[in-house]
């Protein structure tokens, strides 16, 4: 599936501003994939479909979580965390993408996970630093993304956890698992282990 075909399939599912965000995530993901030697075709498709389920009604997402293999604990956390896992499911069902690496990077794009693949990291980080984003601390994450994929993702998970804690929000376990795995990798590297 080429870029234009994929974008045309995506477009009816998103509002204009979300579509524009997606195009910026795609461009950012392609840059990161190129820089860090990750499969650009997979990065392109995963980025295009990462927010595919963003506007599905909550009741529909709930139904998919309840009736499929998706983790049930999602229902006990903010519904903002549902569109990644449900998106991966629907991109397979409705768009016909079967590549597990692509589907996983869509599934985990909001939280990350333990031992993220290189593709997971590209999508997670591209979504965080695309040029339209204006989070507090974003410049530091953009600089870290120039140093390495791991360092950029580590900084993004650290920022997200700090942000959620400052708002007294619960944090989904995968967000902690991602942060822990990236922190251990970073510390081991610095200690020369
Ligand atoms: O879909 P996007 O807006 O492009 O971005 P996203 O899929 O990364 O969603 C971002 C939102 O998800 C942001 O408001 C922070 C929130 N989030 C990320 N990790 C967690 C979380 N919210 C909770 N409650 N817990 C988390 O672990
Ligand atoms: Fe998202
Ligand atoms: Fe997004």
Tell me: the pLDDT tens digits for 31-84?
A: 999 999 999 999 999 999 999 999 999 999 999 999 999 999 999 999 999 999
Using CA positions, which residue lies closest to atom 14 of ligand 1?
Answer: 80
CATH number of the domain at 13, please. Answer: 1.10.3210.10
Number of separate domains in the chain: 1
pTM of the model: 0.96
- Does ligand 1 come within 6 angstroms of the Cβ of 111? yes
Q: Which domain holds residue 124?
A: 3-190
Does 127 contact ligand 1 (Cβ within 6 A)? yes
pLDDT beneath 50: ranges in the chain: 193
Q: According to the model, what pLDDT value does residue 135 have?
A: 85
First to last CA, the chain: 42
């Amino acid at each position: 599936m080429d870029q234009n075909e994929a974008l045309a399939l995506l477009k009816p599912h998103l509002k204009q501003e979300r579509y524009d965000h997606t195009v910026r995530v795609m461009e950012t993901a392609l840059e990161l994939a190129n820089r860090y030697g990750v499969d650009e075709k997979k990065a392109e498709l995963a980025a295009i479909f990462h927010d595919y389920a963003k506007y599905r009604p909550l009741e529909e997402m709930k139904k998919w979580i309840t009736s499929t293999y998706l983790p049930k604990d999602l229902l006990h956390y903010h519904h903002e965390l549902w569109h990644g896992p449900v998106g991966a499911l629907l991109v397979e069902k409705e768009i016909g993408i079967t590549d597990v690496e692509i589907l996983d990077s869509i599934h985990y794009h909001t939280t990350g996970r333990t031992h993220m693949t290189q593709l997971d990291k590209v999508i997670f980080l591209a979504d965080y630093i695309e040029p339209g984003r204006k989070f507090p601390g974003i410049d530091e994450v953009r600089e870290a993304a120039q140093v390495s994929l791991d360092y950029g993702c580590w900084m993004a998970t650290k920022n997200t956890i700090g942000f959620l804690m400052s708002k007294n929000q619960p944090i989904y376990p995968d967000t902690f698992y991602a942060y822990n795995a990236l922190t251990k990798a970073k510390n081991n590297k610095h200690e020369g282990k």
